[in-house]
Every structure is written in C-alpha cells, then in structure tokens.
A = this chain, B = another copy of it.
C-alpha cells in the first residue's frame, strides 16, 4: 500500500496538519517565512503527523489537538532536518536543493532554531505537561544520537551495537514519541501507552535500517537523493558494518580507501557495493528491519481491531517496502 492509501482514514486530519503548519510558521522577518514555506512545501511523507494522529485515534481521542500535535512533531522533525543538513553539508533534501545549499548554513541553523521554538510555543499553548516532558526529552535524545553519529562517522570499527544505539537515539525515539503523544491525548492507561511507544520505537529502528540499505540500492530519482550518499559522506551504516566484519584483508582495504576518499569514484562505489553484496550486507540489514517490523506489529496485539490499528499495521509494512 502507498502512504496515501494507508492515510485515507485520516485524510481530513492530515489536511489540518498542513493548515497548522502554514498558520504557525510565519515570522515578521520575511526571509524566515520564505525559507519555512520552502521547507514545508517540500512535503516528504508526513510520517510523524500520520503516526501521531493514528495513535491518537486508536487511543480513542477524536479532538483537533491530534492534528495540531502532529504538525508540532513535524516541526520538531524539520528543525532537526535543517540542522542535519548543515552537519552533513547536504546539497539535496527530498530531491530539491537543501535549505543550506539555497540560503547558506547561517539561515539553516537559525530557521531550524525557529522551527523548534514554534513547536515549543504550540506545546506551551496546549499546556499538557506530559507532552512537553516527552517531547523535550526526545529532542535531547535525538541531539545525543546525532552527536554520536558525528563522532562515529568515518569510524570503520563501529560495531553493530553502537550503530543500533545511534539509530535508536536519532530516529526511533522521535517516532516512538509521536505514538506516545497520541496515547497521551487519548489518556490511555500506562500499559497501552507503553505498547504504543514500543510500536513507534521498533518501527523507527526498522525505518532507519531500511533507509540505510535503500541508500545503497535505490535509484537517484526514487528516493530523491543520490545513491551511495551515506558512503560518500563517510557514514558507516549496517550494510557496510556487516561487510567489514566478514571481508578479507583486501576487501577491507578497498572499503577503507573508499570511506576515506574525499570524492568517491563510481568505480570505487561499485567495488564497495560488490563487497557488501558478497557478504550479504544488504539482505542482513533488510532481514533485521523485517525483524523489527514484526516486533513493532506485535506491540499492537493488545488493541482491539480498528481502522487506525489496520493503518498502523500497514504503515509498518510500508516502512520496509517503500523502496522495493
């Protein structure tokens, strides 16, 4: 199923998310509004609002705050994307020039800050201390994950455990919190809240694992970014970690050379990909993603059947199938 099909039951709420995003992100400083319009027009999948709204609805909450909180989570995510792009010095984001390529690092850092402030303003206005606490702690974790990633980038000795720690912090915690915010809106009992958090967390791990193997697999057009970007940025992700562990000395050396090179040649990329495939780095990563998706789905077991539950189950499949 496509993301659009999955989100059919919450189409109306997702339209409200767009309204909130437009309404809440204006500034008296013209260029801020301009950059923000550019960022939110560059839609992406709106995975975080969808999760927040589906979780809220499954938790029995049917008010308007689901869309508002969904938009807020998207703003938090966009803030971190903008800072990420500065950190990675990314030229492209979702197939279009990134904000920092367009306006420079200065504007990206500051508009990222602005997004996060606006998200915070929305939470303060909504005045739910549990949501404020959950989201604030989450951003701390996300930031820690990104720092860890920076520190570990270029480290070809990174272990699978360290890699999993990074993706838990930088990706899974935020998706988990989207589900938790939905649960808080529904005011469900603790065991249900925990189940929903866990669903989001395992979904998030699988999501990042899929991102990392798709980065090697997909065509440029399809994911809107150049294939092999991670390798070019010196990011050592699971497909490469697996290959490095199983490679012989010659193969190891060729990966090392590629990972250290200032500009990687198509030839080098092909060689590295051959080593990865030789040692089943991609299938290993895909298998692990499937494992986490199965785990994620199992956390939804205690919930009674509903269209939202079905959507969340379908979303889990989508996360690992989107590139295939």
Which residues on A are within 8 Å of B, measured CB to CB? Answer: 27-29, 31-32, 83, 86-87, 105-107, 109-111, 113-114, 116-118, 120-121, 124-125, 127, 129, 132-133, 136-137, 139-140, 143-144, 146-148, 150-151
Contacts and interface: CB of A to CB of B under 8 A. Distances in A.
Contact of A118 (B27, B118, B140): B140
Contacts of A151: 29, 31
B113 A143 contact: yes
Majority DSSP secondary structure for residues of A touching B: helix
A113 to B, nearest CB: 5
Contacts of A127: 129
A121 B147 contact: no
Contact of A114 (B87, B120, B147): B147
B31 A147 contact: yes
Contacts of A116: 113, 116
B114 A124 contact: no
Contacts of A29: 144, 147-148, 151
A36 to B, nearest CB: 11
Contacts of A129: 124, 127
Contact of A121 (B28, B136, B144): B136
B146 A117 contact: no
Nearest to A153: B106
A132 B133 CA distance: 12
Contact of A144 (B114, B133, B137, B140): B114
Which 6 A-B pairs rank lowest in CB-CB distance, beginning with the nearest?
A117-B140, A87-B106, A114-B143, A113-B143, A120-B136, A29-B144
Contacts of A146: 110
A146 B31 CA distance: 12
A77 to B, nearest CB: 13
A175 to B, nearest CB: 18
B109 A136 contact: no
B87 A109 contact: yes
A147 B117 contact: no
Contacts of A133: 121, 124-125
